[in-house]
A and B are shown apart, each in its own frame.
Chain A
Amino acid sequence: MSPVEFIPMGQSEKPPRAVWLAPLSVMLGSLMTLLPVVAVVPFLPPFGLMVLLGWRMLRGDSMRVWVPVLLGLFDDMVSGQPLGSAMLLWTLCVLAIDVLDTRLVWRDFWQDWLIASGAIGFCLIAGRLVASPFGAHVDTALLLQMLASAALFPLIYRLCAWCDRDVRKQ
């Protein structure tokens, strides 16, 4: 436990690291597509979206509600999806979580995991529908990708919590 910092009167507390680290980590997650593998099936979980959801679940105030629009734009630039798909879907997810927050009295890790898995599944399925024609045989790979993403989410969640550890807990 670090000693209590002295903050003089009239000066505000140092802003938490999450202010800049949250968008940066989401962008780094999106850049996971730079892995030097030329894939013939979609196998990589959408790490940008997963990090975004992790931050949203752990610290709802780490990002403004419109930030997913810009982060989605960045993701569209590097992911190969048509421009606008992550902009739209990520923002819809974050808005839906905001609505859910008004309904749920309390959410713990299991509910966070469930909500995040639902959001990842929604984004992947909707992204597949807008990007590939209906007849494409990508659904098995997509299902595996969704399962892998849902299984990996707790790890990303821990990572976000680890990034956020500079905030003093009361």
Chain B
Amino acid sequence: MAPPRNRRPGFSRRAQYGRFIGYVGAAGGALIGAVLLLLSTFNPPAFAALRSVFSEITTPVASGLHWARRGLSGIPDGIGSYFAVHGENARLKKQLAKDALTVARAQTLEQENRRLRELVKLRDVTTDAIVAARLVNSSSSSTRRYATLNAGSWQGVKRGQPVRDPSGLIGQVIETSPNSARVLLLVDPESIVPVRRVRDGLPAIASGRGDGLLDIRSASVSTMGFRIGDVFVTSGTGGVFSPNIVVARVIRNQGDIAVAQPAANPDALDFALVQQTYLPEPAPAPSPTIQPKPAP
């Protein structure tokens, strides 16, 4: 494509000024962007309200897409079983092909049922679960790891609450809007969870690496090193995550730091459970009020 030879849009003053003002607008907009970027770097939850407006609109769409995905994920099973059957009996093959979809659907339902039962049991033992909802989409193109939960403050979800599934911890709610919430996943580079080793209770800190794994650092002075296969659970320190939720398993040892694989895969789960914060935030200390001196 040939660029315009002459960047002046003719002799019309109006067109020339219009173009100039356009460039002023672009430069000004870039400056505003830079200022907003600084603000949101130093105060990440600054624009949560604005984001929540958008997520209110987009989350139903994402929920629909997620529903379609769950529906479609039964189909590869059906096709696979169709091709796996050896072709010596055409009738049986036809019958199998006819049944394969039904079987796949039944399997999906059965699996979901089993998982739900597991969840119900889980809700029986931990009475502090607030809501079971689905993680419908995530920030797939960004280096940060956020997921969207399709339940929000109307369902009782509040900022800071931990999110888990039967197999382990997933993350923490960081922003809520009426019908959706934003979850900071465990593997986000800025996520930190206090943990302890199951074997001996060694306190440690699990922080996200950004590549789907966790770094485990010992929090005590007497570090004896980590072993491959060590399992870490939440310790309850800090009062956000209730103790004894499985977090990760060590897969690699790098001196003082161990690399661990999270126990829960956020993409494979059907339902995520939002739990109550372990210890409620302490009430603000009463501010000392100055007693007026009685007049003599």
Contacts and interface: CB of A to CB of B under 8 A. Distances in A.
B is a partner of A = yes
Contact of A83 (B36, B62, B142, B185): B36
B41 A130 contact: yes
B210 A57 contact: no
B141 A46 contact: yes
B26 A91 contact: yes
Nearest to A94: B26
B141 A33 contact: yes
Given A102-B3, A136-B210, A84 B33 contact: yes
Contacts of B69: 36
A73 B7 CA distance: 28
Contacts of A145: 141
A33 B139 contact: yes
B283 interface: no
Nearest to B146: A80
A121 interface: no
A42 interface: yes
Contact of B26 (A47, A68, A140): A68
Given A87-B29, A102-B3, A142 B62 contact: no
Q: With a 10 A CB-CB cut-off, give which of B44, B51, B139 has the most chain A CB atoms.
A: B139
Nearest to B59: A34
Given A65-B23, A130-B41, A88 B33 contact: yes
A95 B140 contact: no
B143 A85 contact: no
Contacts of B39: 83-84
A38 B54 contact: no
A137 interface: yes
Contact of A78 (B26, B54, B185): B54
Given A43-B140, A79-B139, A91-B26, A58 B209 contact: no
Given A91-B33, A130-B41, A40 B145 contact: yes
Given A39-B267, A87-B36, A107 B3 contact: yes
A37 B140 contact: yes
B287 to A, nearest CB: 33
Given A36-B65, A44-B141, A83-B50, A107 B30 contact: no
Contacts of A127: 142-143
Interface string B21-40: 01101110110111111111
B210 A33 contact: no
B189 A138 contact: yes
Interface in B254-271: 265-267
Given A40-B145, A77-B54, A80-B139, A132 B22 contact: no
Contact of A131 (B23, B27, B34, B143): B143
Interface string B1-14: 11110010000000
Nearest to A36: B66
Contact of A38 (B7, B29, B138): B138
Contacts of B139: 33, 39, 42, 79-81
A132 B137 CA distance: 20
Nearest to B23: A65
A39 B3 contact: no
A40 B141 contact: no
Interface of B: 1-4, 7, 22-23, 25-27, 29-30, 32-41, 44, 46-47, 50-51, 54, 58, 61-62, 65-66, 68-69, 135-147, 185, 187, 189-190, 209-213, 265-267
Which 3 residue pairs of A and B lie closest in terms of their CB atoms, listed nearest first? Answer: A80-B139, A69-B29, A87-B33
21 contacts: A34-B61, A35-B65, A36-B62, A36-B66, A37-B267, A38-B135, A42-B141, A66-B22, A69-B25, A81-B144, A82-B40, A84-B35, A87-B37, A91-B29, A102-B3, A132-B144, A133-B189, A135-B189, A137-B189, A138-B189, A141-B210
